[in-house]
């Protein structure tokens, strides 16, 4: 058989889980884990095999499936993350009807992502891309404390964004005059040698919006923090960190490398980078002022999405590789941190700062170790995986313009401060007197957390290995003229950055207040903390209220038209009828008069 | 029995035998229902047989000359007409089964079934007749049937709205007839093949085309003449499902395609005018649906905007657009009928149509909720449901025929569709958890619920057979006169 | 053979009035009914067209396709009128006896008018019919009907004067009143002013009789005020035979130059539009029907105005259809009046549930009037529009089409007000109309539906009649 299995098996299992009555809970869990494991197996077995399942339906719309290096690498990576998350999910979530729905829709989502990664035909690429929406809706809806409004919000946002993507895909199909992605690519390159006619720019913008929305960039982000509070942790790991980022980066790489050829610092790439940098700055600032650990993590992941957009839109070889590696690193340490937050939530019941009493160092030692490792990677501490990808992003950003590099530096500084602040508050606070009560997470929940934490450390140490794999996967060879003077300077700057953050922490530690140190007054000055609380700054609400006002105006216009049909015309005719009736008043002389007029007219005609 | 006789029977059986329904009604309700169902199933089976013949390329047409005048009664079947006919008969059968239970609690039921069958018969007449006068003949009969069906409940206000519908559609039809006369005068005869052979151009035809389009827009409720459709929400919901979702509005679109994709190629400036009207209609009705307060009116306005999508496909004239629009007719018919029928179930249970009085119905009627969600997703064009393919193809066809602005507007309208459908689903099923004390339990074996579930199931199943549907649509698209390729 | 149709009614009138033995009105009505049925089937007999007994008092009698159609519609309408007469309680039994005699006389007059081929005898028969209709209108001696009959008398006397002078001039010019001779005369000096004045007078006389727009003054009052059977008989056939049928005959005499056509077209469309607007929210049901019959007559005149043979054919077919569904509507009006004993629309509502037959037949009748497909009215209107369109005058065809929207409006309003809506409590005891009225309405409604559905067959038969 071939790669199509990776779509059929998870979806079949998902549907089965939906349909089986709830008394088979145990078997459902086993089925769920088995499906994830099998999917991982398939992805590994079929890694890199160029399989082309051609024309399953021998008509104009043929169902191609190509298995590129990049696709299979992403598929294997996703399969691994899903396997680990499924183990965590089974351990973490209590058995009720909602979790069954969650498992089923997770598997469906998995098959849709596989479908996107392996489909070589634009129609099916879109089909699986948009098919993701329903499982996403169900997954959020299976959370607690009234998740359905957030689910609807997520559904609407991704539906609207996918329509832009659909429009972009249509423009590309028409330009390439074929539906197939691979064939389309080579022709499209020839057709569009960097010329920026209206056609191509709209195509690029639309595709870019679709990818950015999937990544969770700024205007489309507002459902992610809400989902983090309401949806289960496994959703946040699987969907928000893994799937969204993978699909987003996959499409971005396809756009920048395959569909369009855009010079390095042309207008389009610069505007894309500014879009990315703004997202990163705003998201990181918001992350800093969050009071809920999971909300902070979701804003941080939006920030990292900004990082990746900046890296990709430098349109340079190093930028693309950096983005892919950073995506890889980000998924690993962010999942680790989310698992840590899951453990804390399991133990303390909530991850909100003023609810937890802190000082978990003693009661949850292992989770603390995992937090340390993943947190270090998050902060970009040298010899951890994320450090190298961040360096490459800095380099690519610098190659375009120093302002981007400065922006990224500020983001990293804020990130380091936030993670240190949360680390201190959660684990070092010390007021928690019930320190010795062992609330450590159960073994099955703990294993996934520690896997990711160790992965950050190990991949950091042997960072040559992932670099080699990824450059082979992208078959772009890194420019060997890698001037080490530049790298040394970059490393020095990030070290200074790190020291600055620590100093700020120490100063804040003395005052024993909030551990943000200098950052807090700066945040208050910029009124950032007010920013995320009031509702009406949320782009989704602004968009909906604009549509509502516009529709009200049109509704009144339609009513006026209706009024015209209902009342104006009948009244007019009624008036005419009344006048003719009055003329016919029944006395004979009038009738004779008419007869005379009639005769006169006839004579005139004759 | 030759295929031509079969084609005549497809039209004749519902129209002529429907008169027997009231008589059967006097005998017993069951016999009447059974007879009505049989009268619908026979044409469907005949259509399947005819479809095989037409697909194999056998020409199927029934001709009867009139002595002195040059109007002659011609019925012609090609893939496009058989496809549209089967789509509408399929939906009418489901609606008929639904109305067996729905109409039980109301009076003058015989008249209802008689008119429904007359309506489906005249719909078959329009789809197959290849002579302008007989298109007008069956067109007015559908106007008559829709007047009687909308005016089913005898309250004064309802009858006034039915009268308004009848007058608007009749006025439009008269303008269309004037257009037909102009074309017949230029081409020399009322038969479509003679007219297409003459392939008319020039300014005289433009005026005729505008008049015909006025008639078509009045029937398919596009922007300037659409207010009757929203008012017709007061009819019983199987009627709104049959008329406004699946069949009546499709007639206008079908006649547009028959005339302006197969017989006369409209000039460029007319195409631009049509694009603008259709996009205004799509956007306006989408926006109004977003703030409408009555469930039936929301779905009716969404029908108006989805019809604009189908028009978009036929107006842009390319092969992809034609295929997309043709499939859109089927997908939209199924999904929208499902929405109207489930609105009927809701109205039947809680006796109100106001959205503010609904909310939290998910707990009380989960099956209808799932079916409603399925149909809504198919209308929105969300992938696992078949609506996605047709929406993609229609807009892709428009982009393929180089009218990017229209495509962009319709992408925005597609976004609007998502917004108001999600709002509708939220307000009806999920919103504020109201209490419904005396709502009776929803059971599986009521034909109303079954028909809605079957419609949702059909829209899901058609995704997997999309290859075959695409193949048929391609065959039909070979013969269009636009810039096919 | 066809002259029998004139002689039998005269003989019957004699028989009834010789009072050999006490003849109560029931038998008289029965005889009249039988005669109209006899006429209906007699005209289908094979050698109907043979010219027996023709040489009576050296007048030329002929029967061709057009007169055949007239005979058929005369028979149908008179049958309906007699059924209504039988069922109406308001007219005393003595009066019914007189009514029957008058109807038989009018029948003889009309049948005679249809066969006669010279202008003077046309004038004579028109006068016979006019005389009977004066009395028929004033039969129940109410103040309204007397006043209406008086108006009718005065205005049609104007028409008689005009026609007589026209006939005199034409006789003087042509030396004989026969159609053929008059036609030859027209060919030579058609243009000289005296002959033009004569033809104008003749046409105006007929327009007054037919009730075409500017000359229609008497018609609404006559129809609404007259007793039920008279209004059925009058509206159904009398005005059409005396007024419109004779126009067809003139068609053969005058050389139908363009200005004559223009007169027909202008006055036809005038009456269509203004009568339709006049009928819209009319309060008296019969008065509204009177206006609608003026506008339908306008259609027929319009059809003749097109000048082509197809136009005449379409006009005659519409005349036949109109006589059927207009008398059906008047029969329904009488049914309503017999049950609700008022004609005011505003205090009737929701009667459909109590009087199902009347409401369904009235729906079918008004759909046919408005020209909605499955029924006969559609075909005749379509033919008229086609005739007008292909004879060159497109604007009038467009006007005719758009005016049918007005027809539709006022009938929909009527249907809504009378038959739909909530039933008023004082009406929930009323029963369906009496048997004979229901019989008449079902019979007429069946004719409309059959002509509509089996139009091709009828088209063949009519083509044979007009010997195309």
SS (H, E, C) B63-104: EECCCCCCCCEEEEECHHHHHHHHHHHHHHHHHHHHHHHHHH
Max avg pLDDT among A42-46, B230-234, C293-297, C354-358: C293-297
Reported as a single tens digit per residue, the pLDDT across A6-20 is 777 888 888 888 777
Among A305-309, B161-165, C290-294, C339-343, the least confident range: C339-343
What is the pLDDT averaged over residues C110-117?
85
Confidence at B421, pLDDT banded by 50, 70, 90: very high
Shortest CB distance from B178 goes to which of C372, C383, C401? C401
Whether residues A495 and A549 fall in one domain: no
- Cβ atoms of residues A15 and A109 within 8 Å: no
Reported as a single tens digit per residue, the pLDDT across C133-156 is 888 888 877 888 888 888 888 888
- Cβ atoms of residues B217 and B314 within 8 Å: no
Angle B421-B424-B430 (CA atoms, 0-180°, nearest 5)?
Answer: 120
What is the pLDDT averaged over residues C376-394?
88
Is the CB of residue C397 less than 8 Å away from at least one CB of chain B? yes
At residue C223, the pLDDT reads: 86
Q: Which of A481, A497, A517, A521 is nearest to A405 (CA)?
A: A497
Number of structural domains (chain B) is 1
d(CA B136, CA B115): 18
d(CA B144, CA C411): 13
- Cβ atoms of residues C296 and C216 within 8 Å: no
Ramachandran category for residue A527: left, alpha or beta (phi over 0 → left; psi -120 to 50 → alpha): left
pLDDT score of B376 more than 90: yes
- Cβ atoms of residues C130 and C242 within 8 Å: yes
- A592: chain C residues, CB-CB within 8 Å: 154-155, 158, 217
User: Residue A501 is encoded by which pair of tokens?
Assistant: 């953050």
Confidence at B418, pLDDT banded by 50, 70, 90: very high
- C208: chain A residues, CB-CB within 8 Å: 595
State the DSSP H helix or E strand holding residue B60, giving kind and residue range, or none if neither: strand B60-64
Other CB atoms closer than 10 Å to residue A515's CB: what's the count?
22
Shortest CB distance from B174 goes to which of C404, C415, C459? C404
Write the CB contacts of A236 (distance below 8 Å, at least 6 apart in sequence).
Answer: A227, A228, A294, A297, A298, A338
C-alpha pair distances (Å), B90 with each of B57, B94, B130: 24, 7, 23
User: Residue B385 is encoded by which pair of tokens?
Assistant: 């449901």
What is the pLDDT averaged over residues B245-259?
87
d(CA C324, CA C339): 23
The per-residue b/e assignment along B114-126, b for 16 or more CB within 10 angstroms, e otherwise, is bbbbbbbbbbbbb
Give me the interface pTM, i.e. the ipTM: 0.86
d(CA C33, CA B210): 54
- Cβ atoms of residues C377 and C368 within 8 Å: yes
What is the pLDDT averaged over residues A519-535?
65
Coil vs helix vs strand at C260? helix
- The C-alpha torsion from C284 through C286 and C288 to C292, rounded to 10°, is 180
Reported as a single tens digit per residue, the pLDDT across B19-51 is 888 888 888 888 888 999 999 999 999 999 989
Whether residues A62 and A20 fall in one domain: yes
d(CA A208, CA A279): 14
- Cβ atoms of residues C132 and C149 within 8 Å: no
DSSP string, B113-130: HHHHHHHHHHHHHHHHB-
Residue B77's DSSP bridge partners are B60
What is the pLDDT averaged over residues A205-234?
86
What is the pLDDT averaged over residues A315-322?
82
d(CA B47, CA A58): 26
Q: Does A290 reside within a domain? A: no
Q: Do B227 and A565 touch (CB under 8 A)?
A: yes
d(CA B164, CA C416): 12
Which residue is it, tokens 């059986």? B13
Shortest distance, CA B479 to any CA of chain C (angstroms)? 31
Confidence at B278, pLDDT banded by 50, 70, 90: very high
The per-residue b/e assignment along B184-198, b for 16 or more CB within 10 angstroms, e otherwise, is bebbebbbbebbbee
Residues of the domain holding A567: 535-578
SS (H, E, C) A114-146: HHHHHECEHHHHHHHHHHCHHHHHHHHHCCCCC
Interface test with A, best of C165, C206, C278 (most A CBs within 10 A): C278
Is the CB of residue C467 less than 8 Å away from at least one CB of chain B? no
Question: Which residue of chain C comes nearest to A582, CA vs CA?
Answer: C278
- C459: chain B residues, CB-CB within 8 Å: 66-69
Is the CB of residue B143 less than 8 Å away from at least one CB of chain C? yes
Whether residues A165 and A91 fall in one domain: yes
Question: What's this model's pTM, rounded to 2 decimal places?
Answer: 0.89
Count of residues for chain B?
Answer: 485
Is the CB of residue B485 less than 8 Å away from at least one CB of chain A? no
Question: Which contacts qualify for A537-544: CB closer than 8 Å, 24 or more apart?
Answer: A538/A222, A539/A218, A539/A219, A539/A220, A539/A222, A540/A153, A540/A156, A540/A157, A540/A222, A540/A223, A541/A222, A544/B419
At residue B19, the pLDDT reads: 85
At residue B176, the pLDDT reads: 92
Q: Which of B310, B218, A550 is nearest to A558 (CA)?
A: A550
- Extents of the domains making up chain C: 1-255, 264-468
Which residue is it, tokens 């009380």? B364
Coil vs helix vs strand at C178? strand
Reported as a single tens digit per residue, the pLDDT across A32-57 is 888 888 888 887 777 766 555 544 44
- Put simply, the chain C residues between 403 and 462 with a CB less than 8 A from any chain B CB are 404-405, 408-409, 412-413, 415-416, 420-422, 453, 456, 459-460
Number of structural domains (chain A) is 3
Whether residues A573 and A435 fall in one domain: no
Whether residues A167 and A300 fall in one domain: no
Whether residues A57 and A139 fall in one domain: yes
- Cβ atoms of residues C243 and C202 within 8 Å: no
Tell me the torsion sign for CA atoms C246, C252, C254, C259.
positive
Q: Do C278 and A580 touch (CB under 8 A)?
A: yes
pLDDT score of B389 more than 70: yes
- Above pLDDT 90, what percent of chain C? 5
Shortest distance, CA C247 to any CA of chain B (angstroms)? 24
State the DSSP H helix or E strand holding residue B61, giving kind and residue range, or none if neither: strand B60-64
Q: Does B319 reside within a domain? A: yes
Q: Does A279 reside within a domain? A: no
Shortest CB distance from B388 goes to which of A127, A552, A557? A127
Q: End-to-end CA distance of chain A, in Å?
A: 94
Reported as a single tens digit per residue, the pLDDT across B194-227 is 888 887 777 778 888 999 999 999 888 888 888 8
d(CA B160, CA B172): 18
Whether residues A242 and A351 fall in one domain: no
At residue A533, the pLDDT reads: 62
pLDDT score of B315 more than 70: yes
d(CA B185, CA A57): 47
- B284: chain A residues, CB-CB within 8 Å: 554, 557-558
Residues of the domain holding B363: 3-477
Residue predicted with more confidence, A48 or A571: A571
What is the pLDDT averaged over residues C96-101?
83
């Amino acid at each position: 058989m071939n790669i199509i299995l990776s779509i059929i098996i998870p979806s079949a299992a998902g549907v089965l889980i939906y349909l089986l009555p709830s008394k088979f809970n145990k078997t459902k869990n086993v089925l769920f884990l088995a499906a994830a494991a099998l999917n991982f197996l398939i992805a590994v077995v079929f890694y890199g095999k160029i399989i082309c399942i051609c024309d399953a339906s021998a008509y104009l719309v043929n169902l191609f499936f190509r298995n590129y290096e990049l696709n299979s690498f992403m598929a294997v990576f996703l399969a691994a993350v899903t396997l680990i998350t499924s183990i965590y999910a089974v351990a973490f979530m209590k058995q009720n009807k909602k979790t069954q729905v969650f498992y089923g829709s997770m598997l469906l989502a998995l098959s849709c992502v596989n479908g996107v990664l392996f489909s070589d035909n634009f129609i099916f690429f879109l089909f699986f891309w948009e098919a993701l929406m329903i499982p996403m809706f169900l997954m959020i809806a299976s959370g607690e404390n009234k998740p359905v409004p957030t689910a609807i919000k997520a559904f609407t946002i991704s539906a609207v964004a996918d329509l832009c993507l659909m429009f972009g895909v249509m423009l590309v199909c028409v330009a390439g005059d074929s539906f197939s992605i691979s064939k389309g690519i080579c022709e499209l390159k020839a057709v569009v040698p960097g010329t920026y006619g209206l056609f191509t720019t709209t195509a690029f913008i639309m595709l870019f919006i679709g990818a950015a929305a999937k990544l969770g960039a700024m205007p489309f982000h507002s459902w992610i923090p809400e989902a983090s509070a309401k949806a289960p942790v496994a959703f946040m790991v699987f969907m928000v960190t893994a799937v969204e980022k993978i699909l987003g980066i996959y499409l971005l790489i396809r756009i920048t490398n395959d569909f369009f050829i855009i010079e390095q610092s042309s207008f389009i790439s610069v505007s894309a980078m500014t879009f990315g940098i703004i997202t990163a700055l705003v998201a990181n600032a918001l992350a800093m002022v969050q009071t809920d650990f999971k909300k902070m993590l979701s804003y941080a992941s939006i920030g990292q999405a900004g990082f990746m957009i900046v890296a990709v839109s430098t349109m340079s070889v190093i930028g693309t590789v950096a983005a892919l590696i950073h995506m890889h690193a980000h998924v690993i340490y962010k999942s680790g941190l989310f698992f840590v937050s899951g453990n804390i939530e399991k133990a303390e019941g909530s991850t909100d700062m003023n609810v937890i009493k802190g000082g978990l160092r003693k009661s949850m030692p292992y989770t603390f170790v995992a937090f340390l490792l993943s947190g270090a990677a998050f902060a970009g501490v040298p010899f951890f995986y994320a450090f190298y990808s961040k360096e490459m992003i800095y380099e690519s950003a610098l190659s375009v313009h120093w302002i981007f590099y400065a922006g990224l530096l500020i983001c990293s500084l804020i990130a380091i401060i936030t993670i240190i602040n949360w680390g201190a508050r959660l684990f070092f606070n010390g007021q928690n007197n019930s320190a010795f009560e062992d609330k450590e997470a159960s073994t099955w929940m703990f294993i996934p957390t520690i896997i990711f934490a160790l992965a950050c450390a190990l991949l950091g140490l042997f960072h040559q290995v992932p670099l080699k794999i990824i450059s082979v996967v992208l078959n772009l060879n890194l420019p060997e003229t890698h001037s080490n003077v530049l790298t040394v300077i970059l490393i020095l700057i990030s070290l200074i950055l790190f020291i600055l953050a620590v100093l700020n922490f120490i100063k804040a530690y003395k005052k024993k207040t909030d551990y943000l140190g200098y950052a807090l007054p700066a945040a208050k000055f910029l009124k950032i903390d007010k920013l995320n609380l009031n509702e009406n700054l949320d782009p989704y609400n602004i968009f909906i209220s604009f549509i509502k006002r516009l529709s009200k105006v049109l509704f009144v216009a339609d009513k006026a038209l209706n009024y015209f049909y209902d009342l104006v015309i009948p009244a007019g005719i009624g008036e005419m009828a009344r006048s003719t009736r009055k003329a016919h008043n029944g006395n004979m002389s009038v009738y004779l008069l008419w007869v005379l007029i009639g005769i006169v007219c006839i004579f005139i005609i004759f | 029995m030759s295929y031509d006789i079969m084609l005549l029977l497809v039209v004749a059986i519902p129209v002529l035998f429907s008169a027997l329904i009231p008589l059967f009604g006097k005998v017993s309700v069951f016999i009447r229902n059974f007879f009505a169902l049989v009268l619908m199933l026979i044409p469907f089976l005949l259509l399947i047989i005819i479809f095989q013949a037409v697909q194999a390329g056998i020409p199927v047409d029934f001709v009867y000359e009139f002595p002195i005048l040059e109007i002659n009664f011609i019925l012609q079947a090609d893939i496009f007409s058989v496809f549209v006919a089967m789509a509408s008969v399929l939906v009418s059968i489901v609606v008929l089964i639904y109305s067996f239970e729905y109409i039980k609690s109301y009076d003058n039921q015989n008249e209802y079934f008689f008119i429904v069958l007359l309506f489906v018969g005249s719909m078959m007449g329009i789809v197959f007749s290849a002579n302008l006068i007989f298109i007008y003949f069956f067109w007015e009969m559908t106007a008559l049937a829709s007047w009687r069906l909308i005016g089913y409940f005898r309250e004064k206000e309802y009858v006034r709205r039915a009268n308004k519908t009848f007058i608007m559609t009749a006025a439009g039809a008269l303008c269309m007839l004037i257009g037909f006369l102009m074309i017949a005068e230029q081409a020399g005869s009322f038969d479509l093949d003679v007219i297409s052979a003459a392939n008319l151009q020039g300014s005289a035809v433009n005026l005729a085309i505008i008049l015909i389009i006025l008639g078509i827009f009045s029937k398919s409720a596009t922007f300037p003449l659409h207010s009757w459709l929203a008012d017709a929400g007061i009819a019983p919901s199987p009627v709104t499902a049959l008329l406004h979702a699946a069949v009546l509005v499709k007639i206008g679109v079908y006649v547009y395609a028959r005339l302006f994709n197969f017989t006369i190629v409209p000039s460029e400036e007319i195409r631009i005018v049509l694009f603008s009207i259709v996009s205004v209609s799509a956007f306006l009705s989408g926006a109004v649906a977003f703030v409408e307060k009555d469930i039936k009116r929301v779905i009716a306005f969404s029908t108006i905007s989805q019809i604009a999508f189908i028009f978009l496909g036929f107006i842009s004239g390319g092969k992809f657009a034609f295929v997309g629009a043709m499939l859109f007719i089927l997908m939209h018919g199924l999904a929208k009928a499902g929405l109207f029928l489930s609105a009927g179930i809701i109205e039947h249970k809680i006796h109100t149509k106001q959205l503010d009085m609904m909310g939290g119905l998910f707990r009380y009627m989960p099956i209808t909720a799932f079916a409603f969600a399925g149909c809504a997703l198919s209308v929105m064009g969300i992938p696992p449901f078949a609506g996605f393919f047709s929406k993609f193809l229609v807009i892709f066809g428009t982009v393929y025929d180089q009218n990017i602005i229209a495509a962009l507007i319709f992408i925005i309208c597609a976004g609007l569709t998502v917004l108001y459908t999600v709002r509708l689903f939220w307000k009806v099923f999920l919103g504020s958890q109201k209490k419904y004390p005396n709502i009776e339990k929803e059971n599986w074996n009521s034909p109303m619920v079954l028909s809605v579930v079957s419609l949702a199931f059909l829209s899901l199943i058609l995704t997997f057979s999309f290859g075959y549907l695409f193949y048929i649509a391609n065959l039909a698209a070979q013969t269009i006169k636009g810039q096919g390729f | 053979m066809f002259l029998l149709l004139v002689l039998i009614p005269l003989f019957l009138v004699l028989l009834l009035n010789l009072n050999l033995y006490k003849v109560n009105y029931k038998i008289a009505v029965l005889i009249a009914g039988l005669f109209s049925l006899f006429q209906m089937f007699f005209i289908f007999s094979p050698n109907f067209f043979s010219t027996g007994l023709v040489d009576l008092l050296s007048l030329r009698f002929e029967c061709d396709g057009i007169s055949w159609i007239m005979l058929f519609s005369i028979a149908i309408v008179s049958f309906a009128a007699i059924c209504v007469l039988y069922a109406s309680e308001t007219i005393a039994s003595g009066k019914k006896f007189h009514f029957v005699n008058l109807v038989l006389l009018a029948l003889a007059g009309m049948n005679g008018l249809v066969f006669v081929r010279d202008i003077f005898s046309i004038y004579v028969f028109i006068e016979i019919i006019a005389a009977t209709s004066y009395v028929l209108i004033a039969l129940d001696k109410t103040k309204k009907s007397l006043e209406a009959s008086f108006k009718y008398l005065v205005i049609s006397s104007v028409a008689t004067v005009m026609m007589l002078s026209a006939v005199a001039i034409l006789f003087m010019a042509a030396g004989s009143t026969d159609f053929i001779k008059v036609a030859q005369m027209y060919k030579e000096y058609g243009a000289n002013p005296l002959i033009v004045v004569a033809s104008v007078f003749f046409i105006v006389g007929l327009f007054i009789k037919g009730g075409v727009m500017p000359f229609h003054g008497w018609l609404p009052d006559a129809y609404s005020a007259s007793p039920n059977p008279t209004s059925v008989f009058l509206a159904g056939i009398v005005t059409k035979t005396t007024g419109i049928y004779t126009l067809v005959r003139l068609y053969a005499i005058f050389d139908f130059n363009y200005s004559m056509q223009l007169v027909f077209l202008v006055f036809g469309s005038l009456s269509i539009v203004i009568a339709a607007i006049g009928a819209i929210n009319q309060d008296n049901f019969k008065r509204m029907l009177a206006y609608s019959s003026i506008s339908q007559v306008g259609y027929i005149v319009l059809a003749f105005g097109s000048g082509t043979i197809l136009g005449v054919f379409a006009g005659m077919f519409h005349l036949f259809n109109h006589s059927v569904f207009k008398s059906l509507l008047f029969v329904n009006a009488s049914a309503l009046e017999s049950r609700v004993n008022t004609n005011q629309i505003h205090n009737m509502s929701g009667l459909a549930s109590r009087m199902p037959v009347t409401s369904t037949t009235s729906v079918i009748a008004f759909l046919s009037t408005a020209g909605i497909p499955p029924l006969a009215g559609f075909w005749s209107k379509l033919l008229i529009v086609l005739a007008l369109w292909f004879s060159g005058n497109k604007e009038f065809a467009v006007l005719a089409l758009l005016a049918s929207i007005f027809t539709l409006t006022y009938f929909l309003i009527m249907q809504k007000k009378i038959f739909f809506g909530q039933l008023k409590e004082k009406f929930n005891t009323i029963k369906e109309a009496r048997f004979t009225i229901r019989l008449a309405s079902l019979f007429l409604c069946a004719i409309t539906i059959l002509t509509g559905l089996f139009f091709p067959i009828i088209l063949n038969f009519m083509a044979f009649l007009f010997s195309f």
